[in-house]
Structure 1
Amino acid sequence: MKDMYDLIVCGAGPSGMCAALSAARLGLSVLLIDQNAFPGGSNTASLVGPLMTFHAGDRQIARGIAQEIVDELAVRHGTLGHIPDPIGMVSTITPVDAEELKQVYFALLAKESNITPLFHHLIVAADAQTPSVTVASKGGMKTYRARRLIDATGDGDVAALCGAAFRQGRDSDGFAQPMTLMFTVENVDMDAVRQYIRRRPDQFVLDKKCDLDKYVAVSGFFELVEQAKQAGDLTLPRDRVLFFEGVGAGTATVNMTRAILLRGTEAEDLALAEKETHRQLDECMSFFRKYLPGFENCRLRSAACRTGVRESRRIEGKYTLIADDIARNRVFDDAVGICAYPIDIHDPTGQALTWTEDAPCCYDIPYGVMVPFGTPNLLVTGRCVSATHEALASVRISVACMVMGQAAGTAAHLSIAANTPFDALDVHALQQQLLRDGAIPGQKWL
């Protein structure tokens, strides 16, 4: 195996995969490194789903490689496609089967001779000037060199190792959004769930136009959660049940556990989070069977192999996305993608869940949020881009990460071709290449 590549992509999650695929298809030799045994990151290892969101109202705002992945899933019957969100948080959601998604990613990698995947490897050192990364594995330590680096680790690990400035958590106290262990259950009587929702709509967050006969998503059971807490049957810091019907009949993906006051960049905290969220999972299953209509005979189908981290490092970049950009549906001259997900904050210290509902959300993602200061050969993509605590609560979502990933891989190609550092890249050329490759760089192209 060679040790020199055009591009090293660090992290094979949704953003890293799209970065690697876009760069490889434009002719770069790519080394794709991930500590997991498989690609997909949060969507496969942490069971994060459904994918959100490909639409703003009736307009599709994400295409390119992100849509290609959904199309491949559809062939395998691994998705329900883009369907209206019954909760009303976004225009559409895209339920996916995590195992089929994993297989789609492996199949895409197999088609790309320019990509060398390197799973089971942890990055322990990096240098943006060389550029190079050093990895640790069961075989020992090894250093790989490249002309450019992309940090798609989610936690900004490589940017931090390269000395890039970053922030963590909210400015007031440094606490980040809680971590969650996602899990799936089976043998759920969805008809019983529907009947209860229709009988007690006051107990749920529902979109006025939702069609429960087509799909069930729940944010609610508020009264039953409170009853269980009063009885001592539920102790986790959550005020509701949140789940989405799965691709398979009678299945649901549950987003309910919550590990608070812990950092996703500290191994000891991650270990504590795994222990606590698995305890909460057992508590949830008992609560479901005892309290929730339709869940009396449910079974645990799968638990994520990694607790999901919503927020950790946020690099300090050429531009910092702020809440006002999202509220105003901002258009940027250096746009490389669009996000249509609202600011969605899980309380870092408590049980609440809040999101902005003032107006439909649809804003440009500027290239500047991906460009760290002082590391001209390094680009950052995914949920560790430059944003405030509040703004990251929007742009961290999977589809936005996929969109940024394709832009990052394309930027690497253009940067090398023009012998130009990332911080001096011709963004107009980047936008034009994204258009040629089927992506939508910004709102002006809708």
Structure 2
Amino acid sequence: MRFSTSLIHKQCVVIGGGSSGFGAALAAQRGGASVLLADRHGYLGGMGTAAGLSCYLNHHSGTQNLSGAIYREFVRRQNERGMHYYDPVSQGDFFEPESCKVTMERLFLEAGGECLFHVMLTSVERVEDGWLVTFVHKGGSTQVRCRYLVDTTGDGDACALAGAEMTHGRRSDSKTQPMSMVVQLGGFDPNVWQDAGLPMVNGKYAVAGDHFSDEVADAYQQGLWSIPRNEIAMIWSMPCDPTRVTINGTRINGLSSCCAKETTLAEIEGRRQAEELCSFFIRYVPGFSRAYLLQTGPQIGVRESRRIIGRAVLMDSDVRDGRIPESSVTLCCYPIDVHNPEGSDTQFEMMEGVASAYGIPWECLVPKGIENLAVAGRCISATHEAAGSFRVMPTCMTLGEAAGTAVALASQGKANLSDISGYEIRQVMENALIDAGESGLSSIYENLKSINPVG
């Protein structure tokens, strides 16, 4: 077989099939644009599937659901298949990763979209009236001509190749939040866990966050704990089989997901920590005496890497003050949750009082000085601390929906993305909620704007 080059024409290319990419591609396709959704894996879902991180946290402010129509539809589909449960304490949706792949894929294909898997992005070139994007694969290369490009790679790969201004990690030293290898254990006994007075959901599922700090301290003193963290971040039972438990409890500091060598080291260290974590649970945690290491995530979980310098920058003060810019395209209420890039502690600041949510403006999704390129997910324009809040997957999916909605609006009038306002995007997203029989967010926006600062 000879290597070959093929050329595809689309109105929009979405690069990266994680939560934000799925949201962007589906919104753009449903809005009338022809969309190609490309990913280096053979499936959609990003960190939720490729890293095995199947808990989607905190999209409610009190009892008010702040997520967009696409995320809510995704949850409904998963629930109908028996692949989901909700925990009101952590405000988290918990899924089976394999079903996430299928649900996302079906929704996008049902809308008429096209997927291209097993490709690596190699170049992004500005051409007349659009972009020429090149992917390589085992059979050669595929080039795509498009007018609109959406970067949902998480690492800002397309933006970096397009020459956008980028930042990496925190401003002082470019260090990022640590990566984590998600671990799944089998052989768990939920009854022993429950008898020990540990938290359960629906009397069936074990769910706990920030637990077992005393046990970690003891294991450290005994020479049985070398993972640089003070507690177990998150534990949850799987929807179809509560004897399988997924754990977010590893931490790999000082390495970047934008460097292949460093990511390789992170993967190797993550698997070493996974075995240590399993031994810890067997020794210290009720219900795990017969547990065994079932699997680690197919890839390391990444919290932070590159971000764009956008037409606006979401500041940590915007998050803390609950600022609601007029051009907001989504609301977020997740705490500032920054895992120390160098140590074992975590900065965790709850959203409290009037600052129960904040708005993310459209300008944070648009790289400064580049037309018809949008970004969604954790690589939008923000400070290190602000990024520690919106990086959760329900918010990322809704940011993707906003970017895809902008593409749909622009494509209808052959306009540029800079011609589209955050208000227009928000109105279309509001109508999508109402059309789906969901409660809209307009009243929540207005209520928050009446008591919070307006950007």
**TM-score (norm. length: structure 1):** 0.92
Q: Secondary structure at the match of 1:100?
A: helix
**2:125 — aligned with what?**
127
**1:159 — aligned with what?**
159
Q: Does 1:187 align with 2:187?
A: yes
Deviation, structure 1 residue 190 = 2.5
Deviation, structure 1 residue 103 = 1.3
- Which of residues 283, 286, 298 is equivalent to 2:291? 298
The question of whether the paired residues in 2 share the 8 Å contact of 1:323 and 1:388 is answered with yes
Q: Secondary structure at the match of 2:399?
A: helix
In 1, Cα distance between equivalents of 2:351 and 2:416 = 39
The question of whether the paired residues in 2 share the 8 Å contact of 1:36 and 1:120 is answered with yes
The question of whether the paired residues in 2 share the 8 Å contact of 1:323 and 1:390 is answered with yes
**2:331 — aligned with what?**
338
- Which of residues 413, 416, 419 is equivalent to 1:424? 419
Q: Secondary structure at the match of 2:243?
A: coil
Superposed CA offset, 1:355-374 (max 9, x none): 10361631112111101012
**1:18 — aligned with what?**
23
CA 433–445 in structure 1, closer or farther in 2 if over 3 Å, else same: farther
- Which of residues 51, 54, 66 is equivalent to 2:59? 54
The question of whether the paired residues in 2 share the 8 Å contact of 1:128 and 1:378 is answered with no
**2:453 — aligned with what?**
none
The question of whether the paired residues in 2 share the 8 Å contact of 1:431 and 1:441 is answered with no
The question of whether the paired residues in 1 share the 8 Å contact of 2:44 and 2:104 is answered with yes
The question of whether the paired residues in 2 share the 8 Å contact of 1:181 and 1:306 is answered with yes
Deviation, structure 1 residue 108 = 1.6
- Which of residues 361, 365, 368 is equivalent to 1:366? 361
Superposed CA offset, 1:393-428 (max 9, x none): 001110110101111111001122233322232333
**1:203 — aligned with what?**
none
**1:63 — aligned with what?**
68
Deviation, structure 1 residue 162 = 0.3
In 1, Cα distance between equivalents of 2:369 and 2:145 = 19
Unaligned stretches of 5+ residues in structure 1: 87-91, 199-205
**1:246 — aligned with what?**
238
In 2, Cα distance between equivalents of 1:292 and 1:429 = 51
CA 74–8 in structure 1, closer or farther in 2 if over 3 Å, else same: same
The question of whether the paired residues in 2 share the 8 Å contact of 1:407 and 1:430 is answered with yes
**2:3 — aligned with what?**
none
Q: Secondary structure at the match of 2:411?
A: helix
Any residues of structure 2 matched to 1:46-445 within 5 Å, and which? Answer: 46-80=51-85, 82-86=86-90, 92-113=91-112, 115-129=113-127, 130-197=130-197, 213=203, 215-218=205-208, 219-242=210-233, 243-247=235-239, 248-357=241-350, 359=352, 361-438=356-433, 443-444=444-445
Deviation, structure 1 residue 384 = 0.2
**1:202 — aligned with what?**
none
The question of whether the paired residues in 1 share the 8 Å contact of 2:334 and 2:350 is answered with no
CA 20–339 in structure 1, closer or farther in 2 if over 3 Å, else same: same
In 1, Cα distance between equivalents of 2:9 and 2:179 = 36
Superposed CA offset, 1:135-166 (max 9, x none): 01001123211011000101100001000001
Q: Secondary structure at the match of 1:273?
A: helix
Q: Secondary structure at the match of 1:62?
A: coil
In 1, Cα distance between equivalents of 2:67 and 2:315 = 21
Q: Secondary structure at the match of 2:145?
A: strand
In 1, Cα distance between equivalents of 2:351 and 2:12 = 41
Which stretch shows the higher mean deviation, 101-110 or 11-20? Answer: 101-110
Letter in 2 for 1:436: N
In 2, Cα distance between equivalents of 1:65 and 1:212 = 26
Deviation, structure 1 residue 197 = 4.6
Q: Secondary structure at the match of 2:338?
A: strand
In 2, Cα distance between equivalents of 1:273 and 1:85 = 32
CA 49–6 in structure 1, closer or farther in 2 if over 3 Å, else same: same
Which stretch shows the higher mean deviation, 395-404 or 97-106? Answer: 97-106
In 1, Cα distance between equivalents of 2:441 and 2:20 = 15
Superposed CA offset, 1:187-212 (max 9, x none): 212233334356xxxxxxx9xxx978
CA 445–26 in structure 1, closer or farther in 2 if over 3 Å, else same: farther
The question of whether the paired residues in 2 share the 8 Å contact of 1:182 and 1:307 is answered with yes
**TM-score (norm. length: structure 2):** 0.90
In 2, Cα distance between equivalents of 1:417 and 1:14 = 25
Q: Secondary structure at the match of 1:359?
A: coil
Letter in 1 for 2:41: N
In 2, Cα distance between equivalents of 1:11 and 1:98 = 17
The question of whether the paired residues in 1 share the 8 Å contact of 2:333 and 2:351 is answered with no
Superposed CA offset, 1:219-261 (max 9, x none): 2211211111112111111111231232122222100111110
Q: Secondary structure at the match of 1:18?
A: helix
The question of whether the paired residues in 1 share the 8 Å contact of 2:59 and 2:394 is answered with yes
**2:452 — aligned with what?**
none
Task: Please identify runs of 4+ aligned residues in structure 1 that moved more than 4 A.
Answer: 210-215, 439-442
In 1, Cα distance between equivalents of 2:64 and 2:57 = 14
The question of whether the paired residues in 2 share the 8 Å contact of 1:128 and 1:149 is answered with no
Q: Does 1:34 align with 2:24?
A: no
In 2, Cα distance between equivalents of 1:171 and 1:120 = 34
In 1, Cα distance between equivalents of 2:301 and 2:338 = 15
Normalized per residue, which structure has more strand?
2
Q: Secondary structure at the match of 1:338?
A: strand
Q: Secondary structure at the match of 1:32?
A: strand
In 2, Cα distance between equivalents of 1:226 and 1:169 = 29
Q: Secondary structure at the match of 1:249?
A: strand
In 1, Cα distance between equivalents of 2:197 and 2:177 = 29
**2:437 — aligned with what?**
none
